[in-house]
Structures are given as structure tokens and as C-alpha cells.
A and B are shown apart, each in its own frame.
Chain A
Amino acid sequence: MTVQPHEVVLRSTGLVKRFGSIVAVDGLDLEVRRGEVVGLLGPNGAGKSTTIGMVLGLITPTAGTAEVLGRDVRVRREDALAGVGAMLEVTSFYPYLSGRDNLAAIAILRGGGALARVDPLLARLGLAQRGGSKFRTYSLGMRQRLGIASTLLGDPALVILDEPANGLDPAGQREIRELIRELAGEDRGVLLASHLLHEVEQVCDRVLVIKKGKLIASGTLAEVTRGASYFEIVVDDKARAAQIVRGLGVKEIRETPTGLDVVTDPGRGAELNRALASAGLYASAIVPRASSLEDVFMELTETEAPSAPTSS
């Protein structure tokens, strides 16, 4: 996956939202370009949904701006949102209408030929057979699919998906991942907020990790995970090995059942081996490991938020 230098479809600058004394979003800058999928990650209460709410004009920012296709959402909300398809975390439609009629209602609101996209989108999301059934009879997975279908009615340049795979079985989750990549392939920008880190890992070109409303890491997956690569050292005398490794200036050492995990630059394998051997400690194995996004996410979000992003 490569990031292409396409038009910016979403840009937020210094977004801040305070609810009384609580700072939900704290000076968030983000950017989504056409053709890329950007993952928005963070633990519960990190400010993901509030950020999406501000981008959609549902929540008024305390400070900062959000622009869609260059249009300030606060100043030209309806114009800006004409280019956005959004699916919120809780998918809500009229329970007494069918899936098709719910889409038709939104299509009428959208205008511009959206009505003609209703049936093709139902088919694309696998709802053609149940399009005539009332929304209240839909399973959680079907509701999610209808929510995703609704985002595409207006042929948007930016698609915002908040937890789109909620309630989907593994096959459904895979379909949604494929669909998200297809959307990027159609030159749309996609902002994906998700708790499913393996999902983000598979579909996103870039990720933004936020905690307590602050951006704590951003970049491509390679950039974000690089800083947290580590060596798995299998050794008997863990205490002495840890002392030697610490003497090399390594700050983060985790004890494991078989030895140590040493978080340091991936190019220091030989140095570690030499230091241990010089001290008469012979490791059974020194294996370079690349942290998964999940490892990085856990590591980043379990520590206090720094004042600046780790990379950008």
C-alpha cells in the first residue's frame, strides 16, 4: 500500500473540544487524502467519536477548524457534507421503514441522482434480498451493512466509518475490509475509526493514535510500528542479562518466561550479542521482532500522553 499525493479531502487544524472541565479533544490535527485509508485509533473515551462529530458538524469545536474539500464545516456545513458519506458508531434508521425506503429517504435528502444508487448499493452490500424488509427486523450485521450503503449514496469524496465491522461475522468483516480498500481504489478518502486493530492493520495506509484527545502517534503503519521493534532474548540469567543490556543505554526491558524482551533499535542485535557474550552470558537466541500495531497501540495508550506526536 502506498500513499499517493492526492487532493486533501479532510483537514482539521487544532481541533479542541471541551465538555465543561473535560477536554475530549485537545488540539487535533489530521489530514485525509483521496485514495488513502486513515485509521483513527484510541481507547474508549479517547475522543474518536467526538472528533468525527466535529468533522460532521454535529459537535461544535471549542477551537480549531475542520475542512472538507476546502470548505469549513462550521461556515459551510451543508456544502462541506455534500462530499462526505458518514456512518456513525450507532447505526440508526427509521425502524418502521424498509432498508430500501430508509436509503431512499436519505437519497432524497442528498439529491443529485442518489436515488438511482439505492438498489445497486443494496446489492453491493449484500442486502438485495432483504431490502424490502423493515429495518427493525435487521440483524446487527445487516444494520451495519445498511449504514455503510448509506454512506455511498452521495458518491462522496470522503467516507467516514466509525466501527463499521461491529456485529459482523469474520466473513462479513473480510468483505468490509475489501470494500474499504475498493473505496480507496475509487479515489475516495476513508477515515476509519475502529477497535479492531488487525482490521486497521490490514486496510489502513496511515494511522492516527489518540489518547485523551491528544494525537500521540501518526504515520504509516511501518513508521508507527518501527519505533517499538524489539529483540526477544532467550537467556537463563535474566537479572544479569538485564543489567548488562541496561548498561547499553536501553531503557525498556520486559521480563518474559524464557528471558527478556528488549525494546531498542532493530540494528543493535550484534551489539547486544557481543555485550552478553563478553560478560560470559550466552543467549540461546536473540530474535528481532517487529511489534504488531496492537503491541504499539497497547504500549502507547497505556503510558501517559506526551505533549507531541511520536512521528508525523
Chain B
Amino acid sequence: MPWIMLVLVVVAAFAIYFLIWASTQAQIELIRSGQAPQQGGPTIAQLQETLLIVTPARVQDFGVSVVAGFGSVMLIVFAASHVGTEFGWGTFRTLLAHGASRDGFLASKAVSLVLYAVVFMIVGTAAAIAGSYAVSSVAGLSVGTGVDLAEVARVAAKSGYTFLPYMALALAIAVWAKSAGAGIAAGLVVYFAEGLVATLLVSLNRDYAQIVNWGLSRNASALTRTASGQGGPATQDPTASTLPDPTQAAIVLAVYTVIFLALAYWRLRSRDVTVGG
């Protein structure tokens, strides 16, 4: 599974770069040939401006957000599976019977998840950079000064940081339910539903921001919005002006991560391990 996910993110990064270029180029050709409706649609100049997001200079805006988009879902799935399958296979019980400690088990799982998230972001971002150069070359776009590696690394690190509480939540639910499926379901529901509800509430009344800004999604958005100076999905959020302060966001996400891990730890320590774990 870990290798498959790395292959998927590499393929996805390349594919999206090529799809963006191919679809934009196709629209430009349609307008040039007079086959596309002129009124209401984008102009050639606008489409050419859009096409610039595939250039290496914009990897920190576009490429990293593509990887982060895939990563958030994949890493929730991975975190829950990484722990949940140990219960499903009964290997957690086997490891304990051979002298492993429960603390050590959870610590090794948490550390390996963080390391995997780092590797995932590095591989995904590298694929995005490679995709960017490949598409720029095919499209004949200027690569300019190329990739700003330091900026890309900074943005990728911040994006990767926002995964941690979701991964910790998936892990905690998998431990409580002794099931990978439960961890995946809970992690994905919180990831998608909480963000949606928070955005909806703030759109209805900005005062709700005082409440929902203590949730996961708003703090993750606050961090990814400032991760990149110009782009990223968070900047398209009409409620972006009410997002929490980035420092507060980082602290809140860290606190959530610690709480979820502590809950998993407490449950793992106090549980009687019978058949299956």
C-alpha cells in the first residue's frame, strides 16, 4: 500500500499537469479557430495566464496544492490502515505476546506515519516539479528562473503539517474501533464534512467564525493560505478573511494532534487484548 500510494501521487501529479495544459491549450485552439463562443467565455489572454500555473515558478502555488489535495485523503487512509490492519490480522496481539510494549507500538506507528507523510510530500512535490518542467517543455513555456526550491519546501512543509491532526484522528479511531475501515471513514468524514459545514456557517454569518475557527479545517486552511503568498485552494475561499491567525492555527492543529494521540494511547493501554487485538 505505501508504494502504491507513492506511485499514485507521482502519476496524479504528472497527469494533472498534462491535463491542465491539454485542456487549456484545446480551449485556446477552439477560440483561435472561431469554434468557441466568444461572449462570456475566457479570452485567449486569460487562458494563457492560466497556463502559467504549470510553469516551474508556480510549483509552490499549484503543484504543492495538488499533492496536498491527494495527500490529505491518501494519508488519512494510510494512517487508519497502518494501525487498523494490525488488529484485523491479529498481529498486534502477536507482537504483544512476544514482548512488545503498547507504548512502543503506538510510538513506532506514529513516528512511521510522520516519516511516511514526509516521504510522501517529498516524492509528490518532486513529481510535481518534474511534471512542471515536462509540461513547460512540451508547451513551449518559458521556465524563467525555474523552481524556487526553498519556497516550495516551505509551502510543502506547511501543507504536510496540516495532515497531522487528520492522520492522528484516523489512527485514534482505528485504535478505538480496532478497525481500519472505521478510522478511514471517520477521518474522511471529518476532513470533508467539517470543512464544508465551517465554510457554510461562516458564509451565513461571519460571527460563526469565532466558533468554527477552533475546528480542524479552518486552521488547516489558515496555514495553507499563508503557506503560499499567491495561490492554493484556500485563497479561493470567500471566507478567507475570517480565518484564524497562522500561529494560532499551527498551535491548534498541534493540540488536536496531541489530543488524538493521547486518546489512542489511553485506549491502547487500558484495553484487554483478546482474540484479534
A interface with B by C-beta (< 8 Å) = 49-50, 53, 56-60, 77-78, 81-82, 84-95, 106, 109-110, 150, 153-154
- Considering the chains assembled together, what is the distance between the CA atoms of A59 and B273 in angstroms? 6
A58–B91 CA distance with the chains assembled, in angstroms = 13
Residue in contact with A58 in the complex, picked from B89, B96, B101, CB distance below 8 Å: B96
Given A58-B272, A59-B272, A92-B89: A110 and B94 within 8 A (CB)?
Answer: no
Proximity bits, B259-274, A CB within 8 Å = 1, else 0: 0000000000010111
In the bound complex, CA of A12 to CA of B98 (Å): 19
| B275 adjacent to chain A (CB < 8 Å) | yes
Q: Any chain A CB within 8 A of the CB of B36?
A: no
> When A89-B275, A94-B91, A95-B89 are in contact, do A58 and B97 touch as well, CB less than 8 Å?
yes
16 extra A-B contacts, CB within 8 A, seeds A85-B98, A110-B98 = A49-B274, A53-B274, A58-B93, A58-B273, A81-B97, A86-B98, A88-B97, A90-B275, A90-B276, A92-B91, A92-B93, A93-B94, A94-B89, A109-B100, A153-B98, A154-B99
Q: Mark B72-103, 1 if CB is under 8 A from A, else 0.
A: 00000000000000000111011111111100
**A82 B99 Cβ-Cβ under 8 A:** yes
Q: Decide: A77 and B89 in contact? CB cutoff 8 A.
A: no
Cβ contacts under 8 Å, A82 to chain B: 99
Instruction: Name the prevailing secondary structure of the B interface residues.
Output: loop
CA distance A89 to B276 in the complex (A): 11
Q: Which residue of A85, A88, A95, A110 contacts B93 across the interface (Cβ within 8 Å)?
A: A88
Sample of 20 A–B contacts (CB below 8 Å): A49-B274, A49-B275, A53-B273, A58-B273, A59-B273, A60-B270, A78-B101, A84-B99, A85-B98, A86-B97, A87-B97, A88-B94, A92-B89, A92-B90, A92-B93, A93-B94, A106-B95, A106-B98, A110-B99, A153-B98
Chain B proximity of A59: nearest CB distance (Å): 4
Of the candidates B89, B90, B99, B270, which one forms a contact with A109 in the assembled complex, judged by CB atoms under 8 Å apart? B99
Give the distance in Å from the alpha carbon of A59 to the alpha carbon of B90 in the complex: 15
Interface residue tally for chain B (C-beta within 8 Å): 18
- Chain B residues within 8 Å of A, Cβ to Cβ: 89-91, 93-101, 270, 272-276
Question: 4 smallest A-B Cβ distances: which pairs?
Answer: A92-B90, A81-B99, A58-B273, A59-B272
A106 to B270, CA, bound (A): 24
Q: For B98, give the chain A residue with the smallest CB separation.
A: A106
Q: How far, in Å, is B12 (CB) from chain A's closest CB? A: 24
Contacting pair B94 A92 (CB below 8 A): yes
For A153, what are the chain B residues with a Cβ–Cβ distance below 8 Å?
A: 98
Task: List the B residue with the shortest CB-CB distance to A77.
Answer: B101
Cα separation A57 to B101 with both chains bound (whole Å): 10
**Bound complex: CA A57 to CA B273 (Å):** 9
Contact of B96 among A56, A60, A93, A154 (CB under 8 A): A56
Q: What CA separation (Å) do A212 and B89 show in the bound complex?
A: 29
Q: Which of B98, B100, B270 has the most CB of A within 10 A?
A: B98
CA distance A90 to B88 in the complex (A): 12
A53-B272, A92-B89, A94-B89 as given contacts; A109 in contact with B94, CB under 8 Å:
no
Nearest A residue (CB) for B101 = A78
Complex contacts, A84 vs chain B, CB 8 Å: 99
